[in-house]
Chains A and B, each alone.
Chain A
Amino acid sequence: MIKSAQRLLSSEYLILILCALYFTAMAPFVDGFASMGNLGNIFIYMLPLLVVATGQTIVLITAGIDLSVTSIIALASVTGAMVINGETGALAGSALATPVGILIMLAVGAAIGLLNGLLITQFRMPPFIVTLTTMMFFSGFAIWLTKSKSIYGFPSSFLIFGKNIWLAGAVTLIVALVGHFLLTRTLLGRWLYAVGHNPKAALISGVPVNRVLVLTYVVCGLCAGVAAVLISGRLETGSPVHWRNNLLDIIGATVIGGTSLYGGRGKVLWTFFGVLFLTLIDNSLNLLNLSHFTIMMVKGGVILAAALLDSVRNRMGGRT
């Protein structure tokens, strides 16, 4: 019995099984939950969350954390919007607007990621403090830059990245596959897990720990930049407060999936399961017409349970 419980808790498909059970249990009671329209809503809502959670997964594997991802999304969104919007943008009406806008958003993400990585490695500051302060700084900067206004008027060729379910899905799939490939098929991936398990041992073994960490935060920032493209396209707006309240969802989905807060364990596939589970809960409780505050309490409880499970697995000497 105990061995069965241990096997269940250690299974990498535990969250997927929970998703299936939850969906089956709720579908008969929640109007519209299993309808094609709602499944489409669930899918498209998941996509930017999965993209940014993929980057967060890579950071958590190294026993770090990136709290600045929501500010990266906001700043990337408004920076791109300022350049390519149809009213005041420098590239208004240009055929280059969309590719340049996307590049700008990715560049902002990578640049902030690089800053995070350098501050953590060169000054040996804890990732929590560094990314908390960059979150505050760049959030304020985005609001100052736009005087807290949203920017409308993206070119239609940009909007399809957020609105076309297949294109957004393809972008997300590419990010997830690249993340998966990086973690499972490259030397860098092995280094990431090594640093997460024991950075001192990794350093002695010849792993360039600082370079690995800097790259980790750059990748996380890039993922946030991609998410900014999807979100800005979906909401048709560059906004300095995009996803301001979603940090817990991002980290929570990653932890629910099974990536460890202690480092050394995590997979993109698990993060997909975690994102799916959190989105199913959010969507079903919304359809049940529960108040936003009740939904927050339930999600908080689920994330807490996931963190507890992570702690248990850590003690049980869970898998990598």
Chain B
Amino acid sequence: MKRLLLLPFALIACLAFTGCGPSDSSSDSAAPGEKQLTVGVAFETLQTEYWVAGFDAIKAELKKRNIKVLEAISDSDANRQLEQIKSFVTRKVDGIIMVPKDAKTCIPAIRAANEAGIPIVLFNRVADRSDVKFVGVQADNAALTEETVKFMVEEARKTGKKHKAMLIMGDLGDLNAIGRRDGFDAAVKGNEDVVEVVARVPSEWNQEKAQAGVVNALQANPDISFIFTSSDFLFPSIVSALKSSGKYHKIGEEGHVILGGFDGDATAWQMMSDGYLDATGVQDVYFEAEASVQAILDLLEEKEVAELINDPGFVIHQGNKDEMKERMWGFIVSKQQVGDQ
């Protein structure tokens, strides 16, 4: 029984002393006389391809510059994320790159970094502006979504029919989700002769909720023929719902539902190359990662850095996919996955 009690203690000791599983991506040590910088990278979650790609891109960028990385994932817990940022402060990191859980609960964490004099950059998702200081790197969600949906509207116009539309929204505590919703509305406004929005599904960035919402919307409006999702990671749920109602057809086939998304992940690439997806707004994850790391270095050198660094992104669609695919992170990830197999 005493051994049973000591087992977890021994396990903890093993993990501590052998370094089994530490997520410390140290690169080579600094040259003699030069202090190696350390940057803490705190993500809310790694539950979607975008976040995994972003996490890997940031680590690769830091490694390229010989910067040591400390990692933390908060599993969508704002309190835990605050603890993780405070741990970074305790460990006297030189900079912090964070993906906050939402725009408001991250403010105490940013404040903790500010009080310690540690530069902090928010990756892809910014906080509400208040008394705290940070640099934000993100896509212009509203503009990129508007451009994507405008392309979809033009495709709808070419069919000569009026389309009933569904919008799948994200978590409205996330400014990105609000931006994409606003972009969708801006694109549809003035085109009500072609597109009528009959369903708005609040997914809260949850695949199960998205699927349930899409199924319900399709039952209530079986003639929906235009769907935009605020994130490509929800496509598996949407495709599942479309297949079960017999509405998943390729572009050009009878009954094709005009599909559009945002992010540009590997699933979207596969759907695009298979001929199901009309368009998606692509966030340039490599640009955002590089800009985040550079912002940290510039802040450490006390250079002027813009409060918000915009990732212009781009729209990829059936008409330009061959020339744009190399810039699409989802295409690169899917190429790597095929290479690994």
Residues of A near any B CB (own CB < 8 A): 5, 8-9, 18, 22, 25-26, 29-32, 35, 37-38, 41, 45, 143, 147-152, 163, 231, 234-237, 239, 241-246, 281-294, 298, 301-302, 304-305, 308-309, 312
Contacts and interface: CB of A to CB of B under 8 A. Distances in A.
A188 B172 CA distance: 46
Contacts of A152: 104, 107, 128, 130
Interface of B: 1-2, 4-5, 7-9, 11-13, 15-17, 21-24, 70-80, 82-84, 86-87, 89-92, 102-105, 107-108, 128, 130, 171-173, 202, 204
Given A32-B92, A237-B107, A285-B15, 13 more contacts: A231-B79, A236-B107, A236-B108, A237-B78, A244-B77, A245-B76, A285-B12, A287-B90, A290-B21, A291-B21, A291-B73, A298-B8, A301-B11
Given A26-B16, A234-B108, A305-B8, A148 B1 contact: no
Contacts of B173: 148-150
A38 B2 contact: no
A308 B105 contact: no
B99 to A, nearest CB: 14
Nearest to B92: A32
A235 B82 contact: yes
A150 B102 contact: yes
A242 B77 CA distance: 7
Given A45-B83, A239-B78, A285-B12, A305 B5 contact: yes
Contacts of A289: 22-24, 70-72
A239 B82 contact: no
Nearest to A291: B23
Centre residue among B15, B79, B108 by max chain A CB count within 10 A: B79
A25 B74 contact: no
Contacts of B24: 289
A11 B321 CA distance: 69
A246 B70 CA distance: 24
B63 to A, nearest CB: 15
A115 B254 CA distance: 55
A41 B172 contact: no
Nearest to A240: B173
Given A148-B173, A285-B15, A294 B21 contact: yes
A298 B17 CA distance: 14
A45 B78 CA distance: 13
Nearest to B1: A312
Nearest to B102: A150
Nearest to B70: A289
27 contacts: A9-B1, A9-B5, A22-B12, A25-B13, A37-B90, A41-B90, A148-B172, A148-B202, A150-B103, A150-B104, A234-B79, A235-B79, A235-B82, A235-B108, A237-B78, A239-B105, A241-B78, A242-B78, A286-B83, A286-B84, A286-B87, A288-B16, A292-B80, A293-B73, A298-B8, A305-B7, A308-B5
A298 B1 CA distance: 19
A38 B76 CA distance: 23
A38 B116 CA distance: 13
A281 B82 CA distance: 17
Given A152-B128, A292-B72, A298 B15 contact: yes
Given A25-B13, A26-B16, A285-B12, A241 B76 contact: yes
A212 B324 CA distance: 69
Given A242-B79, A290-B23, A309-B4, A29 B72 contact: no
A188 to B, nearest CB: 32
B79 A243 contact: yes
Given A237-B105, A244-B77, A41 B86 contact: yes
B152 to A, nearest CB: 26
B26 to A, nearest CB: 10
A292 B74 contact: yes
Contacts of B13: 25
A99 B157 CA distance: 58
A308 B204 CA distance: 38
Q: Which residue, of B1, B74, B75, B77, has the highest number of chain A Cβ atoms within 10 A?
A: B1
B105 A235 contact: yes
A71 B108 CA distance: 22
B225 to A, nearest CB: 28
Contact of B172 (A149, A245, A286): A149
Across the A-B interface, the 8 shortest Cβ-Cβ residue pairs = A32-B90, A301-B8, A302-B8, A152-B104, A150-B104, A292-B73, A291-B23, A289-B24
Which of A8, A29, A243, A291 is most buried by chain B, counting CB atoms within 10 A of its CB?
A: A291
Contacts of A301: 7-8, 11
Most buried by B among A234, A292, A293, A308: A292
A22 to B, nearest CB: 7
Nearest to B21: A294
Contacts of A151: 104
B78 A245 contact: no
A26 B14 CA distance: 11
Contacts of A31: 91
A220 B261 CA distance: 46
Nearest to B4: A308
Nearest to A18: B9
A148 B203 CA distance: 11
Q: Which of B12, B71, B89, B204 has the most CB of A within 10 A?
A: B12
A104 to B, nearest CB: 20
A29 B12 CA distance: 13
A287 B22 contact: no
A41 B85 CA distance: 11
A5 B77 contact: no
Given A150-B102, A150-B173, A294-B15, A245 B90 contact: no
Contacts of B202: 147-148
Nearest to A150: B104
